[in-house]
Structure formats: structure tokens, C-alpha cells
């Protein structure tokens, strides 16, 4: 028989029997009240358990075993106002009061930018040109303008080439189309800036897209333009801002020009309205910015107007699909954005500037989006950008490589200016300028120049600046 | 503050996020709606024109969202239950519907599966 069953069968003894053996040890007074207890303390009720705290074992579900008070940091600083951090990030510093004034630094003139004798010399940018360049956002944050007393740049071989292109376009009233390529930090954006500076000095009308990325990453308002096939999209806020820049930067030129053409605009125009006032009208009201831009362009391309310089930095961003979506949720090709289309029409040579001019674009090597065609491109022996590759391939396009037809057409026949490192003479010139500014303490000798020139990947100008001025050991 | 389908949204709010607060509108639907009315992805409520707001309200009114969608969901579950299907029964019992194991890990089913499902 199993023991459990045996126990179950065991009859319970009557309570009188159990109490009987203990009772005789207790006093007679307690016998009826508490037959099990001998002392008063044992009679007291057990202390109440603390809620939520358990001893010897894991905590109950949902409760924390260890509670540590977090240190709360009390910030006394004022939080940045809206737009403050952006303003700080985009701040352009063009002067360093600690740098020395360079004795004998001459301002750039029209001649100095086309004169081969000036190659290797540093020239300052005239104050008015600096103001205009600042308005069109030609100075970039990462460039070293803030290291020296005043904005100045080196005249290099390519600067003279660009200067000649501009001069020829003015003389012959032709449209020159140039794409600047080259390694990272090789001075493409600064060369573009020199082109802009030359155009400002010549009294041209300048239109600059400082960052092509801003046009295509879907950060500004867009809307379809009715009656266009394929549908084009206007970016009203961006256009209004662009008009404001055009009006401020070219005020001296545009204020002398009045409207002569008839325009189909939503509001009537004053008869002797100047072109800078026309731009301001568009800048004030984004709703009419695009029609005003078109009106401005019609005026500028009319006979007898000054030549136009159009520039764009970061070309690869406008040579692909944009981040905007069409109503059918398909991505919009960057060339379908009205402003981009405007630029590309002139870059591709589809349209000509009536009074002559230059359309110039620079490739960015540090911020270049990947393009499907790039991945299909064959292995390249030397580092070159996708655009360069495409440009080289235009004549013998491999039919098995997937390429964007519109991009290929847009870049057909453009002049490509590939920037390489500075020559030793140019490097010496710029390093002497560093030394004269007090930013380089070493004596500029042949050996020193050679050393830095080699360190900078055979004279890549941005690296040269880094090696000589920024990284001072 | 801007009123969209009877809900007030602050000016600083992203349009995309504002749309996604409605039950039945997720990332893809909000993207589609915004593309339809040419509103850029980073637009905030304050950037919307009056035309956009009327368009959006009209679009949202015509869509099956919020209570309509919740009701449809409940109707679907009730239908399953009424015809006596296995799925209906599992819903009614608050157990997993699609053949998951019930030995452990059925918190979600316990929480959500019921005839009068919240949404």
C-alpha cells in the first residue's frame, strides 16, 4: 500500500486529545484564551508586509528591483531660436583680423584675369564684387576665406582660360558651355567663383545656382505648370529667392535697364519699370515668381542687353531623378523642374543666349550622388567622376551600359575643363601669399614648396592650403 | 492652427506626420496623397496654401479612415464569428487566429483579438 494513501486513511485525532498534553504546562488563566501560546509577544499580529518589496527572490513582474534616481540636468542656457543654428552653420566669414594685411596685394581687374603674366600671383577681389558674390552665395563655408585678411584668390592657368572664354563670348556674342571637373579640393568651386567675379566686373547679368542639391532634394515647394508637355514643375519659393539674389547682386546693371517687351503676367506692369524692380516684384510674391522669372529672361535675351553668366555648382544632382514626386507617385526627373530645365537647355546648347554669355557648371567630388549608370560603367583606371566618364564616353557610348538619355543629350558637346594640381610656380605664388599673411611661419624656399606640393597630391590646391595653413604643427 | 478633417494641427507640424495621425493613413498613403497635391516631403502645415487645405480635407473626407475603417474591421470580425468560422471563434476567444502556437507568446492576440476590436 502506498504511503500517501496510508496517511490519507489516518484518522484525525479529536482536538481535545491534541490540546490536552500542552495544557498542563500553562497557567490556568491562559488556558481558555490561547492554548498554543506561552508568551504575550507571540500573540501580537505579524508586522504588515511592505508592498512591492520582496525578500529573497526576484522582484514581481513589472516592478523594478533597483531604483536609482536619475540626475536631472538643469540647463540654464537659452535654447537656440528658430533658424539660429542654421544661420551659424551657413555663416560665411570673409575676414580674419589676426591675419596680416598683404603689402602690394593688387585688386583683380579685367586684364589680370586674362593675362598669362599674372599666372601664379594672388589678386584681391574688389569690395563691390565681394558683395555681389556674397549675395549669390558663391562663397562656400568650407573654403578658406576666413583665414586671411580679405578675400583674394590665386590666378592659375585655368583662371586665364576661363577669363578668355568669357571675353570671347562677349566679343563674338556666342554662348560658351563649360563643365569644370577635377579631383576633390582641386579648386572647381573657386574657379567658378572667379568666373562669376569676372562676369560681375564686366557688367554682365549673373545668375547663380549655388547648390544644385537644393533644387532637387525636395525641400522647397513645387507645383505643376499648366499646359506644359511633359509637365514641368515650378519651384516658387526657390525662384522668389533667386530673383531676390539676381536683383541685389546685379542692381547696378539691372537698374539701368527698363522693360521693353510685352508680358503676359497676372498683374499690370508699370511702363518704365526697371528690371531690378521687376525682380523685386517676383521676390516679394512667390506665387508670381515663375512668370516674373520668365519675363525677366525675355527681357534679358532681347537684343541690346548685356551678356549673361549662368553658373551651377554640384552638377550631378541635376542629372538624375529628383526627390519630388509627380501626382502619379513617380519621381520627377530633375530636368522636368522648370529652373533646372532652364539651365540645362542652355548647357546642352538647345538654346542660345542672344547677347552672348557663358553657361558654366562645376562638378562636386565631395557631394556627388550615386547614379545607376555609374555602377554599370566599366572599371576605370584613373579616378574620374561619373560625369567626366560620361563626357569621355559620349562619342563612343557603350550600348550595354545603362545611361540616362536626357543626361547624355544635355552634356553633348560641352567643353570640359579638367582641373589638376597647381604647377610649382603657382604653388609657390600662393604659399608666398600665405607667408605674407602671417598664416605660414616658414620661409618659403624651393625645398619647402616642393615638400608641400608633393604632400598635397601634386599641388591639389585645397590640400596645399591644408598642409601649409590649417595643419600647423 | 490649421483644421484638417476637424482636427487642429500646429503650424510647425510636418504635413506628412499630421496626415499619419489619422487611423488608416501610414507612410505610403501619406506619400501618395502628398504627391497627388504636389506637396513636398518636408512641407510643414504653415507652408500649405488654402487650396492645399481644401484639397486635403476633400480627399480625407472621401477616404475610409478613422471610425469608418474601425467599423469595417469590426464588421469583418463579426461576420467571421457569425458564420461560425474558426477565425471568428479564435477572435472571440482572444487567441491567435493564424495558427500560431499558444503555449507562450500570445500577448498580442490577448490584447487585440476580440469581437469588438478597437482597431
* Nearest by CB: A222 against B31, B32, B38: B38
CA–CA–CA angle A295, A297, A300 (5° rounding):
115
Residue B59: pLDDT band with limits 50, 70, 90: very high
Probe site for chain A from B27, B36, B40 (most A CB atoms < 10 A): B40
- A290 in contact with chain B, both atoms CB, cutoff 8 A: no
If DSSP codes are grouped into helix, strand and coil, which group holds residue A310? strand
Chain A residue numbers with beta carbons less than 8 Å from the beta carbon of B16 are: none
* Nearest by CB: B41 against A233, A323, A329: A323
More confident site: A22 or B48: B48
Task: Say if CB A150 and CB A178 are below 8 A apart.
Answer: no
More confident site: A54 or B117: B117
Q: What is the pLDDT of residue A181?
A: 86
Q: What is the pLDDT of residue B6?
A: 87
Residues in chain B: 119
Q: Which residues of A393-412 are buried (b: 16+ CB within 10 A; e: fewer)?
A: beeeeeeeeebbebbbebbe
Identify the H or E element spanning A312: strand A308-313
Tracing cell 583674394 back to the chain, one arrives at A152
Instruction: Mark yes or no for CB contact B41/A218 under 8 Å.
Output: yes
For A191-201, how does the pLDDT look when each residue is reduced to its tens digit (9 = 90+)?
999 999 999 99
- Write the Ramachandran bin of A405: left for phi over 0, alpha for psi from -120 to 50, otherwise beta: alpha
Q: How far is A209 from chain B (nearest CA, A)?
A: 20
Q: What is the pLDDT of residue A29?
A: 44
Q: What is the pLDDT of residue A392?
A: 62
If DSSP codes are grouped into helix, strand and coil, which group holds residue A216? helix
Instruction: Mark yes or no for CB contact B36/A327 under 8 Å.
Output: yes
Sign of CA dihedral A91, A92, A97, A98: positive
Instruction: Mark yes or no for CB contact A223/B38 under 8 Å.
Output: yes
- A231 in contact with chain B, both atoms CB, cutoff 8 A: no
User: What is the DSSP track for A313-350?
Assistant: E-GGGGSSEEEEE-TTSPEEEGGGBHHHHHHHHHHTTS
CATH fold for the domain made of B2-63: Helicase, Ruva Protein; domain 3 (1.10.8)
- B46 in contact with chain A, both atoms CB, cutoff 8 A: no
If DSSP codes are grouped into helix, strand and coil, which group holds residue A379? coil
Instruction: Mark yes or no for CB contact B32/A323 under 8 Å.
Output: no
Instruction: Mark yes or no for CB contact A221/B36 under 8 Å.
Output: no
User: At the top level of CATH, which class does the domain B67-112 belong to?
Assistant: few secondary structures
Q: How far is B105 from chain A (nearest CA, A)?
A: 16
For A9-31, how does the pLDDT look when each residue is reduced to its tens digit (9 = 90+)?
545 544 444 444 444 444 444 44
Domain ranges of chain B: 2-63, 67-112
- B36 in contact with chain A, both atoms CB, cutoff 8 A: yes
Smallest Cα–Cα separation from A387: which of A417, A357, A359? A417
CA A45 and chain centroid, separation: 75
Identify the H or E element spanning B9: strand B7-9
Q: How far apart are CA A431 and CA A458, in angstroms?
A: 14
Q: Closest chain B residue to A219 measured between Cα atoms?
A: B42
* Nearest by CB: B40 against A218, A327, A329: A218
Instruction: Mark yes or no for CB contact A222/B40 under 8 Å.
Output: yes
Q: Closest chain B residue to A234 measured between Cα atoms?
A: B38
Q: List the grid coordinates of A52.
A: 512591492
Identify the H or E element spanning A123: strand A122-124
Probe site for chain A from B35, B39, B51, B107 (most A CB atoms < 10 A): B35
CB atoms within 10 A of CB A282: 27
CA–CA–CA angle A425, A427, A433 (5° rounding):
105
Q: Residue B78: CB partners within 8 Å, gap ≥ 6?
A: B115
Instruction: Mark yes or no for CB contact A223/B40 under 8 Å.
Output: no
Size of interface A-B (CB pairs under 8 A): 31
Instruction: Mark yes or no for CB contact B40/A221 under 8 Å.
Output: yes
Domain ranges of chain A: 163-419, 424-470
Instruction: Say whether pLDDT at B29 is over 60.
Output: yes
Q: How far apart are CA B16 and CA B98, in angstroms?
A: 33
User: What is the DSSP track for A254-298?
Assistant: HTT-B--S----SS---TT-BHHHHHHHHHH-GGGHHHHHHHHHH
Q: What separation in angstroms does the CA of A121 have from each of A105, A142, A147?
A: 9, 23, 18
Q: Closest chain A residue to B38 measured between Cα atoms?
A: A223
Alpha helices (H) along A125-156: 127-135
Task: Say if CB B10 and CB B21 are below 8 A apart.
Answer: no
Instruction: Mark yes or no for CB contact B35/A326 under 8 Å.
Output: yes
Per-residue pLDDT of chain A (473 residues; tens, 9 = 90+): 444 444 445 455 444 444 444 444 444 444 454 455 555 555 566 666 555 554 566 667 777 767 777 888 888 888 889 889 999 999 999 999 999 999 999 999 988 889 999 999 999 999 999 999 999 999 999 999 999 999 999 999 999 999 999 999 999 999 999 989 888 999 999 999 999 999 999 999 999 999 999 999 999 999 999 999 999 999 999 999 999 999 999 999 999 999 999 999 988 998 899 999 999 999 999 999 999 999 999 999 999 999 999 999 998 899 889 999 999 999 999 999 999 999 999 999 999 999 999 999 998 888 888 654 433 333 333 445 556 666 666 656 666 666 677 887 788 778 888 899 999 999 999 999 999 999 999 999 999 999 999 999 999 999 999 999 988 65
Q: How far apart are CA B69 and CA A312, in angstroms?
A: 49
Instruction: Mark yes or no for CB contact A324/B40 under 8 Å.
Output: yes
Instruction: Say whether pLDDT at B93 is over 50.
Output: yes
Task: Say if CB A275 and CB A257 are below 8 A apart.
Answer: yes
Q: Closest chain B residue to A237 measured between Cα atoms?
A: B47
CA–CA–CA angle A144, A145, A149 (5° rounding):
125
Task: Say if CB B30 and CB B22 are below 8 A apart.
Answer: no
Q: How far apart are CA A133 and CA A189, in angstroms?
A: 12
Sign of CA dihedral A184, A190, A193, A194: negative
Q: List the grid coordinates of A151.
A: 578675400
- A223 in contact with chain B, both atoms CB, cutoff 8 A: yes
Q: How far apart are CA B25 and CA A442, in angstroms?
A: 65
Q: What is the pLDDT of residue A365?
A: 83
Q: Closest chain A residue to B28 measured between Cα atoms?
A: A329
Amino acid at each position: 500500500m502506498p504511503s500517501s494513501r496510508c496517511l490519507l486513511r489516518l484518522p484525525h485525532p479529536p482536538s481535545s486529545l491534541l490540546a490536552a498534553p500542552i495544557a498542563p504546562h500553562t497557567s490556568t488563566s491562559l488556558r481558555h484564551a490561547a492554548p498554543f501560546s506561552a508568551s504575550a509577544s507571540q500573540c501580537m499580529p505579524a508586522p504588515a508586509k511592505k508592498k512591492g518589496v520582496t525578500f529573497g527572490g526576484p522582484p514581481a513582474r513589472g516592478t523594478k528591483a533597483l531604483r536609482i534616481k536619475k540626475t536631472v540636468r538643469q540647463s540654464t542656457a537659452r535654447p537656440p531660436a528658430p533658424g539660429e543654428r542654421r544661420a551659424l552653420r551657413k555663416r560665411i566669414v570673409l575676414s580674419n583680423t589676426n591675419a596680416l594685411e598683404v603689402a602690394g596685394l593688387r585688386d583683380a581687374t579685367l586684364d589680370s584675369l586674362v593675362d598669362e603674366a599674372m599666372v601664379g600671383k594672388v589678386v584681391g577681389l574688389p569690395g563691390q564684387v565681394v558683395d555681389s558674390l556674397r549675395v549669390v552665395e558663391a562663397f562656400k563655408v568650407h573654403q578658406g576665406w576666413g583665414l586671411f585678411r580679405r578675400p583674394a584668390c590665386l590666378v592659375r592657368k585655368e583662371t586665364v582660360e576661363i577669363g578668355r572664354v568669357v571675353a570671347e563670348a562677349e566679343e563674338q556674342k556666342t554662348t560658351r558651355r563649360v563643365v569644370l571637373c577635377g579631383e576633390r579640393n582641386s579648386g572647381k568651386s573657386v574657379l567658378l567663383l572667379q568666373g562669376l567675379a569676372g562676369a560681375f566686373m564686366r557688367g554682365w547679368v549673373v545668375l547663380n545656382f549655388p547648390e544644385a542639391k537644393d533644387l532637387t532634394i525636395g525641400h522647397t515647394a513645387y507645383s505643376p505648370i499648366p499646359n506644359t508637355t511633359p509637365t514641368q514643375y515650378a519651384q516658387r519659393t526657390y525662384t522668389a529667392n533667386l530673383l531676390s539674389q539676381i536683383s541685389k547682386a546685379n542692381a547696378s546693371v539691372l537698374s539701368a535697364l527698363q522693360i521693353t517687351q510685352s508680358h503676359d503676367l497676372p498683374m499690370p506692369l508699370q511702363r518704365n519699370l526697371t528690371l531690378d524692380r521687376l525682380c523685386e516684384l517676383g521676390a516679394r510674391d512667390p506665387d508670381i515668381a515663375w512668370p516674373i522669372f520668365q519675363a525677366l529672361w525675355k527681357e534679358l535675351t532681347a537684343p541690346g542687353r548685356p551678356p549673361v553668366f549662368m553658373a551651377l555648382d554640384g552638377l550631378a544632382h541635376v542629372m538624375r531623378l529628383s526627390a519630388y514626386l509627380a501626382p502619379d507617385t513617380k519621381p520627377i526627373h530633375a530636368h522636368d523642374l522648370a529652373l533646372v530645365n532652364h539651365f540645362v537647355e542652355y548647357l546642352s546648347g538647345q538654346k542660345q543666349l542672344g547677347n552672348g554669355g557663358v553657361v558654366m557648371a562645376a562638378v562636386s567630388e565631395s557631394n556627388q550622388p550615386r547614379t545607376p549608370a555609374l555602377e554599370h560603367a566599366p572599371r576605370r583606371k584613373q579616378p574620374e567622376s561619373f560625369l567626366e566618364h560620361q563626357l569621355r564616353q559620349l562619342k563612343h557610348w557603350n550600348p550595354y551600359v545603362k545611361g540616362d538619355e536626357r543626361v547624355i543629350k544635355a552634356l553633348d558637346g560641352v567643353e570640359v575643363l579638367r582641373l589638376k594640381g597647381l604647377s610649382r610656380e603657382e604653388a609657390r605664388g600662393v604659399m608666398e601669399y600665405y607667408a605674407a599673411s602671417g598664416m605660414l611661419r616658414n620661409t618659403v624656399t624651393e625645398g619647402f614648396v616642393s615638400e608641400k606640393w608633393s604632400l598635397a597630391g601634386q599641388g591639389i590646391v585645397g590640400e596645399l592650403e591644408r598642409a601649409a595653413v590649417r595643419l600647423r604643427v | 492652427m490649421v483644421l484638417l478633417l476637424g482636427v487642429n494641427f500646429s503650424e510647425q507640424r510636418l504635413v506628412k506626420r499630421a496626415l499619419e495621425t489619422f487611423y488608416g493613413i501610414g507612410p505610403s498613403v501619406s506619400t501618395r496623397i502628398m504627391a497627388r497635391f504636389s506637396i513636398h516631403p518636408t512641407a510643414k502645415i504653415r507652408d500649405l496654401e488654402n487650396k492645399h487645405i481644401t484639397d486635403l480635407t476633400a480627399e480625407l473626407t472621401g477616404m475610409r479612415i478613422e471610425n469608418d475603417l474601425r467599423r469595417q474591421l469590426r464588421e469583418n470580425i463579426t461576420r467571421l464569428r457569425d458564420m461560425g468560422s474558426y477565425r471568428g471563434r479564435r477572435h472571440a476567444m482572444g487567441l491567435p487566429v493564424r495558427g500560431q502556437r499558444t503555449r507562450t507568446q500570445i500577448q498580442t492576440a490577448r490584447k487585440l483579438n476580440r469581437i469588438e476590436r478597437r482597431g
